[in-house]
Amino acid sequence: MLDEALAHPQGAPLVIEAPVKHWEALSGSGSHGQAFLPPTRGTVYGTLLNHRDALAALGDQVNSAPYKAPPRAPILYIKPRNTVVGHRVPVGVPGDAPELEIGATLGIVIGRTASNVAEDQALDFVAGYTVVNDISVPHASVYRPSLRFKCHDGFCPIGPAIVARRLVPNADALDIVVAIDGETVQRSSTAGLIRPIARLIADVTEFMTLFPGDVLTVGVASGAPRARAGQTVTITIQNVGRLENTLVARAGDGA
Amino acid sequence: MKRARVAYGGAIHDATHHLAGVQLADGRVLPEDAVVWLPPFEVGTVIALGLNYADHVKELAKELTVSAKDEPLAFLKSPGAVIGHRGQTRRPADVKFMHYECELAVVIGRSAKNVKAEDAMQFVAGYSVANDYAIRDYLENYYRPNLRVKNRDTCTVLGPWLVDASDVPNAHDLALRTLVNGVVTQQGNTRDMISDIQTLIAYLSSFMTLGAGDVILTGTPDGVVNVNVGDEVVTEIDGIGRLSNTIVGDAEFGR
């Protein structure tokens, strides 16, 4: 049940805590709905190959060049602030990338400063959860990808809201559904994680403090769908929310 | 002008260079060691360059499987990793090779998107000195350089000053060096960058909007050596500043 959340419609002076039914009404619905600001201004960290099937998709490649060994520590990257947009904000498609990869994932939103936390206490540091669309220009190698693939403006829609942790008791077993123009194109779950949420937080904060408002994604499942300009991408995570963004051709883009 | 941010007397202050040390905005003049030095500006996105000096590329040649020939090898760091002048950086007890990297930090002053190289210097607010530590024991071949190597708490040192761009007639002719316990271990000159500042700003802004407070760490020349607990590491760039840092062990962090 999703009955309480933090949301931030564009133009609203403050973050509001309100029943979801209320802010859905506030923001209208469908393509005419109001765009939201991202629900946090913290740093967004992406996690890669944390789904068993995503790592399995690399198969034996992990043992050959350039990887040479299976991953040991969490594989992380940063989605910089220029990428972060809210629910219903249009996302520009670069001129040189006809299709973008849609990385549907659960975002863990940190509630208090987390440094070197133990796994059995890690969830105490979580404020709540949100939906993240970690968009990429499709690229085969995860050895040393160019920033161009993940860091275009708007490549990290987040929201619509942060749903309080106590309202998501089963965060390690949530269904994630991606739809493009209303048609379901991917189903996955947070149940397939190599590092479930508490373990991921423990392993990350061993070397890197997470601050209130920071977002750590749990990683994208294998078989990420692709979408083109003109299509609307909707990511629904059970108990957490439905994040919708339309891809648009970027006018005058020299890239 | 050389600007700093310091903590003193129970508050955080904007400050400027003074012959006796530092002058707070409220007029107080203090010696360098009387204040706590913060990063000299509010740090936004931190973009770091790998392999941007030809001699450093040669130094690392044995482990390289990519080159910077086609596009600059850039990666991101988060603001949370950054500390100021005279800070402490933690060396975990179990590592064999932790090294400094002296780098010219280019600070963006205003929003920059699709900037041409010939206009790029207009978007630079100023310069600072960075010491971008790496712990090579943790290097893995997924999303290199992985955050466990390059985004560790306390391992990005920045300061002491933000020097106005107008006070730096030629940022591409600055001698830089590192001293470990007073002995010069690394020397170079910013004229030897493979991708110069204009090229980097044009490249990055071709896909991502740079904002005020974003900072580009422009890479390091050869001469990186291991540092140990107790070492004082000074990274210095002529005309920009002398950035001091001390390596401490796990005990200071309760580990």
Kindly report the nearest CA distance between residue B60 and chain A, in angstroms.
16
* Residue A78 Cα, gap to closest chain B Cα (Å): 6
Assess A68–B contact: CB distance below 8 Å, yes or no: yes
What is the C-alpha to C-alpha distance for residues A61 and B100, in angstroms, rounded to an integer?
32
Mark yes or no for CB contact B78/A147 under 8 Å: no
This model of the complex carries an ipTM of 0.94
Cite the residue boundaries of each domain of chain B with CATH code 3.90.850.10.
41-253
Contact between B64 and A139 under an 8 Å Cβ cutoff? The reply is no
- Per residue in A201-235, pLDDT tens? 999 999 999 999 999 999 999 999 999 999 999 99
Domain CATH number, residue A53: 3.90.850.10
pTM (predicted TM-score): 0.93
**Closest residue of chain A to B115, computed from CA coordinates:** A254
Alpha-carbon span A84 to A107, nearest angstrom = 13
- Judged by a CB distance cut-off of 8 A, whether residue B147 touches chain A is yes
B169 close to A (CB below 8 A): no
A207 domain-assigned: yes
The full DSSP string for B141-153 is SSSSSPHHHHS-T
What phi, psi does A183 have (nearest 5°)? Answer: -100, 125
Radius of gyration of chain A measured on its C-alpha atoms:
17
CB contact under 8 A, A144 and B204: no
- Above 70 in pLDDT, residue A17? no
Say if A47 falls within a structural domain: yes
Band (pLDDT 50/70/90 cuts) for residue A166 is confident
CB contact under 8 A, A208 and B113: no
Sorted by sequence, the CB contacts under 8 Å of residue B50 that are 6+ apart come out as B68, B73, B74, B75, B145, B219
Q: How many angstroms away from the CA of A239 is the closest CA of chain B?
A: 30
* Total structural domains within chain A: 1
Nearest to A145 among B143, B207, B255 (CB): B143
Nearest to B229, CA basis, from B254, B247, B253, B251? B247
Q: Is the pLDDT of residue B63 over 90?
A: no
- Fold designation for B41-253: Fumarylacetoacetate hydrolase; domain 2 (3.90.850)
pLDDT tens-place string over residues A29-64? 554 578 889 999 999 999 999 998 888 888 888 888
User: Residue B123 in contact with residue B112, Cβ under 8 Å?
Assistant: yes
d(CA A70, CA B241): 42
Rounded Cα distance between B210 and B51, Å, is 22
Range B242-251 average pLDDT:
98
Q: Return the CATH number of the domain spanning residue range B1-38.
A: 2.30.30.370
For B71, the enclosing helix (H) or strand (E) is none
Judging contacts by C-beta atoms under 8 Å, the chain A residues touching residue B150 are none
pLDDT for A65 equals: 87
Q: For residue range B178-189, what is the model confidence (pLDDT) as tens digits?
A: 999 999 999 999
Q: What percent of chain B has pLDDT over 70?
A: 95
